[in-house]
Chains A and B, each alone.
Chain A
Amino acid sequence: MQKLGDFKLPQFFNYPPYFTLQPVRDTREKQVQLWKELILDYCRTQKIFVIGLEEEFPLFSNHLIESRSLSNEINLIHGAGSLSNEAREAFLSALVSEGRAEWLDRGHRKCLILWHRIQDWADILLHFVRDNGFEDSVMTVEEIRTGVESRGTVHTLTMKSKSAVVHLLPAVELHGIDRIILMRALKLLEHKGKLAIFKGTSADDEGVKFSV
């Protein structure tokens, strides 16, 4: 089984046509679907929030196919087993149209991947607040992302029950969350009256007052 780090790649990853945008509708639909799942799967396990189209992204090329190709020199520009920009944009756009991703710029060069939708992130946030008894507390945004509270909870819970870690532990999910996503989730909750965001002296210390 081929792997990218600790990520298990599917078998079709070695199938060269997987890396060429298919022109036939039915085939393409299936291909796009497989790519969507793979991208979400990979980003979720690797905690990747933003994919830059022009940047190196491990999923978008397969060195096994590349090395099989005869003309390695040309591969440096655009090679076998490597997605073209057009294909990258097509697959990410498919995610965007499903609400599983968002373009961060007009030029479609950077894409925010939402393996949880904003609504789901908001729910996780609420779970996190309730689980830790922060119902009426005040926290900074940075604290939620990287703070001691979230990390600590992970640790204790991990020790307590191994199986609980496996699925959707709010604190684990929230740890290292992209700031843009977090702010969007917070704003959604603010809109629902679950919390209030107040500005600090700088952009980094925005505060959140929960009132769940």
Chain B
Amino acid sequence: MSTATTSFFEPASVTSSGRPVLHQAEVECHLLSSVDLETEPTTTATTTINSLDFPALKSGLGILTTHRLLWLPSNATTDSSSPISIPLSSVTHIFSPKKSIKSMFHSPRIRFQVSVHSRSVVVTLVIRGKGDIDGFLTKFWDCWRGRAWEIGNDSGGGSSSGSVPASGSVSGGGLYSSDGSVRLVGVSGILRKEQEMWESTDKSLQEAFHDLNALMIMTAMRKAKEMVILAEKMRQKLLSGSSSQSSSGNDEEMGSKEEMQDWLLSVGIVSPVTKESAGAMYHQQLSRQLADFVRIPLEKAGGMINLIDIYCLFNRARGTELISPEDLLQACSLWEKFDVPVMLRKFDSGVKVIQNKSHSDEEVFARIKNLVSKPEALRSGITASDAAMTLGIAPAMAKEHLLTAESKGLLCRDISPDGFRFFINLFPEINSDDIHMMNSGGPYLVSSSMSCLWKPGEGSWDLFSLDKKLVAVSAQKSETSTQHYNRLLMQRIFSHFTRSAIKCQSNLDRPGFKVALRRDDHKVAAAAQRHDFEHTIKST
């Protein structure tokens, strides 16, 4: 009996940010903070239950949904108790609150009887925090009477629960429609209705095929079997047809039921946290729900997403229960207090984004560096939209990344009538003692093709075109020449063939600059000539 708590109450699963995982069509109705859950055995129980087997669940979060009553520990990391849930279907009685002098000095209590597997206990909720206890009790009655779980299990029988007196629905805040069924919330609600409709169509069709199957056995005709296959295909078509109908799209390939389900999930939050349901804990719960929600869009956006984009996506998912920008911001700023994998980041420019805690700028910088090192970018720089296309993110976001990279000294800017362009930062490369010299061996000199930047027009070369400009004189030797001696070009060539033997010879007959590459076996030799240049480099 030591596992009484876990076996008597169902364990409840929670998300990484501490929000309860709700069942299909389950909607949160009310939240209460600092709730104790006490259990006492009743005399009607067939088995004697020792109250010690139910360790007191102290000071947690009580969540009432249309289907269950959930109790979550207030701090998951320090609290040893695990979240539990009590299905409302197992509640057999809700006691009316006692009005006595004693109760005035006590914390408010709500008592109800739960019966599972012919075992029965009385559960007492002791509400130690501030909260709308009367509101909670009313909702509790509503949800219990509403029997939403029956609607979920049997789609046909849902409307029959209208026989349950709907007295609570007047004061209950409109969670139930007049026939007593759960009012569906948001876009997802509308879509679910749609889904229910075609599911019932589907069901009747399936039944019809069943009869056909029987017919097939009777006649044992191959033709009939083919017909079944054909009809089965048609049924699939119908499924896809109804899904594309609800999306008001024309895409017939919209496809299977699974995809439809995925799509539904992306559109709707089934149980949005509302001010009405969460009360004082609204922002805290909203914050947790948001943390769960951003996971997928964040993944798609590559680890960082604009706050405005999330605002749109989140509100679209919530459908009718819109939140204000202020609420969103507050929810995001509360993340610091919870153990969630996402964080709010503010750029120097004031742009706010949501990013994974594990997100690193280094990776983005590496890609930007790669982009600005391309020959074309060296010559004329890149714009925010160039970066946006390469990084696959919004231009506004790309610009933030570029500005951050600039502040890190990776880039520098050029403002001209053509707009704002970013260049790789070559200032550190320039020799301060002699402005006509470049510091050789800098990372950009070797990795980028500098010569094309410094010598626009005729003498412009880069590593990529270098191979093209080399004219093969023989199988072993190729050469090229240019009018101007270009020191940077020399460096390029030398660094290009660092691992080979390079030999530079002088030839005083001809002015200009000449490079000759000689290939023998695995060695490549380069010879550079200039009228007043004489140099020989040999490296291994």
Q: Which residues of A contact B (CB under 8 A)?
A: 1, 8, 10-12, 14-17, 19-20, 22-24, 26-27, 30-31, 33-34, 37-38, 41, 64, 68-71, 74-75, 78-81
Contacts and interface: CB of A to CB of B under 8 A. Distances in A.
Given A24-B407, A37-B435, A41-B435, A11 B454 contact: yes
Interface size on B, as a range, is: 20 to 34
A209 to B, nearest CB: 42
B421 A71 contact: no
A16 B423 CA distance: 8
Contacts of A75: 417
B416 A79 contact: yes
Interface in B246-270: none
Contacts of B409: 24, 26-27
B456 interface: yes
6 A-B pairs with least C-beta separation: A80-B416, A74-B417, A16-B414, A30-B427, A17-B412, A10-B435
- Centre residue among A23, A30, A31, A70 by max chain B CB count within 10 A: A30
Given A1-B484, A22-B412, A69-B418, A34 B381 contact: no
Nearest to A77: B417
16 contacts: A10-B436, A11-B454, A14-B453, A14-B456, A16-B381, A16-B423, A17-B425, A20-B414, A22-B413, A24-B407, A24-B409, A27-B412, A68-B380, A69-B417, A69-B418, A71-B418
A38 B430 CA distance: 13
Interface in B420-470: 421, 423, 425-428, 430, 432, 435-436, 438, 453-457
A64 B454 CA distance: 11
Interface string B341-382: 000000000000000000000000000000000000001110
Given A41-B435, A69-B416, A79-B416, A14 B421 contact: no
Contacts of A26: 409
B435 A20 contact: no
Contacts of B428: 30
B415 interface: yes
A11 B452 CA distance: 11
A16 B421 contact: yes
A183 to B, nearest CB: 32
A167 B260 CA distance: 84
Contacts of A41: 435
Q: State the majority secondary structure of interface residues on B.
A: mixed
Nearest to A74: B417
A68 B416 CA distance: 11
Contacts, number: 92
A75 B456 CA distance: 19
A42 to B, nearest CB: 11
Contacts of A31: 412, 427
A88 to B, nearest CB: 15
Given A12-B430, A15-B454, A68-B456, 7 more contacts: A11-B454, A14-B453, A16-B423, A17-B427, A19-B414, A27-B425, A81-B416
Interface string B477-496: 00000001000100000000
A69 B455 CA distance: 16
B327 interface: no
A1 B381 CA distance: 22
A82 B430 CA distance: 20
Contacts of B400: none
B448 to A, nearest CB: 12
A172 to B, nearest CB: 23
A41 to B, nearest CB: 7
Interface string B399-410: 000000011010
A25 to B, nearest CB: 9
Contacts of A74: 417
Nearest to A71: B417
A12 B455 CA distance: 10
A11 B414 contact: no
B453 A79 contact: no
A115 B379 CA distance: 33
A8 B485 CA distance: 14
A15 to B, nearest CB: 6
